[in-house]
Amino acid sequence: MKDIQYRLFAVMLCLFLLAALALGACSGPDEGRQRFGEMLQQAQKLEKQQALLGWFYASEGKKTNFAETYENYQELVSPAGIEAVEQMMRATPDSTLAQEAGAFRQYLAHKYLAAQTARLSDSLAALASARLPGGGFLADLAELLAARQDSAGREALWQAAAPLARKAVAVSEQMDRREDSLAQVLGYADYWTMLKPVYGIDAEASRDLAESLLRDSDSLYRALLQRLSPVPPTARRLEDIYAAMLEASEAEMFPAAQMTAVMSNFLKGIGIHLTRQDGLTLQEQQVHAIPGYAACAVVDPPRDVRLSFSLQDGYGPYAAFFREMGRAQFALHIHNASPVFQQLRPSPLPDLFAGWFENVLADPAWAAARLGIPDGDPYFARRAFARLFRLRLAAASLSGLLTPGGSDWQAQYSAVLHIRLDPSEIDWLRSRIRGRLAATRMILLPVLEAQLRRYLQEQFGTAWYDQIACGKFLKEIWQEGRRTDLEELQKIIGAERLDGGVMMAEINRMAGLRE
């Protein structure tokens, strides 16, 4: 009897263990998804907090302090958090969860670097917003140099800006070293090898593109420089370059009311409407807001997500507006989160739209139809030269031609820009490119943006800006917000290979030359 009871007990125990194992196998994926959901919620809170702070810092003119936002999320944005997601990705039999975890892993790698370099980023932002004698910020040095005609005033500006620019370069170099060491912690050889899996950017292809752009743009750059700056080449200085680019400011050419109307019509085409803030008229807003005036963009859905931003006369703030709108769309995706974490992957799409709108203002056909600027106006040549100047500076930095600390670094900078530069000026130019990722995007985005504009012309005609279907197309892309990356956009417009020739042809037309 005892033997039978023992055997029965053994059988029951085996059945219990089998049931427990089966239950564990069934609950494993659920537990993994639950853990994934918890980490997702943490990331959403972090992103929403940073988006709101970004708006606050921009609208109030406060110094950024994003470093403190990571204090409550150190476990999430850490190698341990990344490893936990990797284990989940390998262990789960759920293919959808594995795909989401893979995207989440890349997001956490991006945020890990951002968290560990946040104080350095805040320092760079503080230096850029440092005030100079007589008004203006370090970031506005180009405009200030172009506006001051007397040599004493320019010299005073350089004396004030030089130590700030030198410090910014030192912080940038420190950030580069820090990013390399952090990439190695995550298992990459260096920061460059991390660009492709995390940001979807091929570093080698980007360098090749940069080198080709330097070669292809050299003759046009030199011709425009000679046309716009009649100073003898041996005596030409950096302030002469800025004076050539900014001879007639957009604030003078485009009155604020006209630019507001242009911006409003453009935004309506992609489903965004400008409204007055607090019921004030534009004139009242100009009195109450210092400087410029304020506007409020309502983003649907939901209605309670609003974005306030400062607008000053000219085109620059309108381009910046798209970057802020990118954050707004990002916040909406967080607010109405779907299970797919693809939404939180870093994307340069807001910057692409910002540059796209800015350069639309220099499109001869659009400017003639919308702003009444005749073809051949010197305005276009100045804008073409400004694009080439920024492009060549970023391309040279990215391709490795400008190697800080080399024996001939000063000669290299001067050769690329075809002007005589002293060390303080080179520090200023280097401080304008904040990081290797920024330099890469300064090359890739203008090239892709020109291909996007060509696609619009092919699909909707030369007057694409008047076509309702074009507005709907742009709205569909824009509403994807941060979920659309470079590769996806390239596929949408049929530009799998980034072709710098499209952009160069566009700049040639702006400069009044044939393709």
- For 149-165, the pLDDT digits (tens) are 677 878 888 888 899 99
pLDDT at 139 over 80: no
Total Cβ atoms within 10 A of residue 150: 8
pLDDT at 197 over 50: yes
Which of 503, 477, 222 is closest to 363 using CA atoms? Answer: 503
Judged by average pLDDT, the poorest of 19-23, 50-54, 189-193, 441-445 is 19-23
pLDDT at 364 over 90: no
First to last CA, the chain: 100
- 349 or 390: which leads in pLDDT: 390
Q: What pLDDT, on a 0 to 100 scale, did the predictor assign at position 263? A: 52
Kindly report the average pLDDT of the chain as a whole number.
Answer: 72
| pLDDT (average), residues 75-90 | 90
Q: Is the dihedral of CA 411, 415, 416, 418 positive or negative?
A: positive
pLDDT at 339 over 50: no
pLDDT at 488 over 50: yes
Please provide the DSSP assignment of 27-41 as one string: HHHHHHHHHHHHHHH
Q: What pLDDT, on a 0 to 100 scale, did the predictor assign at position 189? A: 92
Helix axes 436-460, 500-510, angle to 10 degrees: 70
pLDDT at 212 over 90: yes
The tokens for 160 are 């004030």
| pLDDT (average), residues 383-392 | 89
Q: What pLDDT, on a 0 to 100 scale, did the predictor assign at position 116? A: 96
- For 324-333, the pLDDT digits (tens) are 444 444 444 4
Confidence at 199, pLDDT banded by 50, 70, 90: confident
- How far apart are the C-alpha atoms of 372 and 302, rounded to whole Å? 38
Q: What pLDDT, on a 0 to 100 scale, did the predictor assign at position 113? A: 94
Q: What pLDDT, on a 0 to 100 scale, did the predictor assign at position 3? A: 53
pLDDT at 247 over 70: no
User: 275: part of which helix (H) or strand (E)?
Assistant: strand 273-275
Q: What pLDDT, on a 0 to 100 scale, did the predictor assign at position 156? A: 84
| pLDDT (average), residues 227-234 | 80
Highest mean pLDDT among 53-67, 85-99, 110-124, 462-476: 110-124
Amino acid at 296: C
Judged by average pLDDT, the poorest of 11-20, 284-293, 358-367, 443-452 is 284-293
Q: What pLDDT, on a 0 to 100 scale, did the predictor assign at position 358? A: 66
Confidence at 458, pLDDT banded by 50, 70, 90: very high
Total Cβ atoms within 10 A of residue 204: 11
Which of 390, 78, 336, 93 is closest to 214 using CA atoms? Answer: 390
pLDDT at 99 over 70: yes
Q: What pLDDT, on a 0 to 100 scale, did the predictor assign at position 62? A: 72
Cβ neighbors of 352 (< 8 A, separation 6 or more) are 445, 448, 449, 452, 489
Distances (CA, A) of 240 to 147, 378, 428: 11, 16, 15
- For 397-447, the pLDDT digits (tens) are 887 776 655 556 677 888 888 888 888 888 888 888 878 888 888 888 889
Judged by average pLDDT, the poorest of 6-20, 370-384, 476-490 is 6-20
Q: What pLDDT, on a 0 to 100 scale, did the predictor assign at position 346? A: 59
